[in-house]
Every structure is written in C-alpha cells, then in structure tokens.
Amino acid sequence: MSNDKTGQHILRQFDDDLESIRSQVMSMGGLVEKQLENSLTALFNGDSQLAEQVAMNDYQINAMEIAIDEECNQIIALRQPTANDLRLVMSIFKTISDLERIGDEAEKIGKNAIDLATEDCSQSYYAHLKHLGDMVKVMLRSSLDAFARMDVASAYETAASDKNINHQYELIMLNMINAINDNRAMVELCLRLIWISRALERVGDHAKNICEYVIFTVEGKDIRHASFQQAIDDFK
C-alpha cells in the first residue's frame, strides 16, 4: 500500500472512531433524557415504582461515561488529534461529564419522588414545577440536537433560553417561601419541591454547558466566562 493510501486509510479510520464516539454520546444523551422524563413522570403521578427504577438505572449512565472517557483517552494517545479534532475530543470529555451530572439530578428527583408518592400533595403545588420541567426537557433536547449537528446558531439560541429557566426557578422559590410563611406545616413538602426545582435548574445549567462546548468546537471560542450577550452579538 502506498504512503498516500496508508495515510488516507488512517484518516478514514480516525474519522470513523470520532463518529463512533459521537454516536455513543448521543446514546448516552438519550438515556439521560429518558431518566429525566421518568423522574418527572414518577413525581407528578406519584409512581414510586418508576421513581425507584430511575434511582437504580443511574449506574448505566455512569458506565457509559467511563466507557466513552476511555475511548477518548485512546484517541488522544494513538491519534494525537490537533485543531478541530482535538477541540471535538475535549468537548466530548466535558459533554459526557455534564450528561452524567444531569443523570445525578434525575436520580435526586427520583429519590424525592419516592418520598412524595405517599404525600397528599395538591396538584397546585406542581403547576409551576411542571412548567419548569417541560422547559428543561426542551432545552436538554435542543442542546443535544445542537451537539449532534455541531450547529452553532442553535447552540447560541438554546443557551440563551437558560435565563427563562432561571426565572421560572426563582418564581417557584418565591411561591414556596410564601407557602411556608402561610402554613408552617408545609415546610417539609415545600423544601422537597425546592430541592427538585433546584435539580431542574441545574439540568438547565448543564444543558447550557453542552451548547458552549459546541461553540468551542466549531468556533474555537471559550465563552464560559464572557458576557453571553456579547458572544451572541459577536456571532451575529
């Protein structure tokens, strides 16, 4: 085989390796989405069995993170990627870490759902929480779509939606504080709902991080500590 053909074969194999890892990241993302969906379904339906399943299934996400991490390390050691390819590998490292943490937040929601399944909780307390959950699920799905396509425009748009999630979280906090002030017997319930809403707000933060990794991969810009509005203006 000529040197040219050998080089082409190596490059093709490298591209195949990267594509395989990206596919695994999307599979991990799909499992994380399912865990989040199930944790919220368990919470709002009072389904303790489903909540326990969420708590037990977290090990699958952890195992996927370890497996993908090992493959990325092998690529760095064997292929010594540079420029865009290196940024992609580094972004994958960070993305799977954020996905694992989202899985942890889903597990927290599931564990709280187990305890709340036996509570006589008025659906009125869940109204704002359901809205927050829907917003977070959309943001997570959009961040994974942006990652799959390496779509910078979508990444900016999705990351910007985190401010709406923060606003909804703050609204829930205010409502829970008012509920506690009105009825001290509601302290334990309201605290649990605050913990759940905090977990959802953190999922939004991790989804935003994934969008920032997409921007870093494509544009080579680290906007984590920059003014996000300025980053958007620069992109436009």
194-218 tens-digit pLDDT: 999 999 999 999 999 999 999 999 9
Q: What is the pLDDT of residues 33-62, one digit of tens each?
A: 999 999 999 999 999 999 999 999 999 999
Query: Which sign, positive or negative, has the C-alpha torsion 62, 134, 24, 12?
Result: negative
Q: What is the full DSSP assignment across 111-138? A: HHHHHHTTS---GGGTHHHHHHHHHHHH
Work out the number of other CB atoms within 10 angstroms of the CB of residue 182.
Answer: 9
For the entire predicted model, the pTM comes to 0.89
Class of domain 3-235: mainly alpha
Q: What is the pLDDT of residues 142-189, one digit of tens each?
A: 999 999 999 999 999 999 999 999 999 999 999 999 989 988 878 888
Is 104's pLDDT higher than 90? yes
User: Which conformational region is residue 46 in: left (phi greater than 0), alpha (psi within -120 to 50 degrees), or beta?
Assistant: left
Q: 């921007």: which residue's tokens?
A: 215
Is 100's pLDDT higher than 60? yes
Q: Distance between terminal CA atoms of the chain?
A: 47
Mean pLDDT score of the chain, rounded to an integer?
88
Tell me the domain boundaries of the chain.
Answer: 3-235
The reported pLDDT for the residue numbered 122 is 59
Q: 């993170």: which residue's tokens?
A: 65
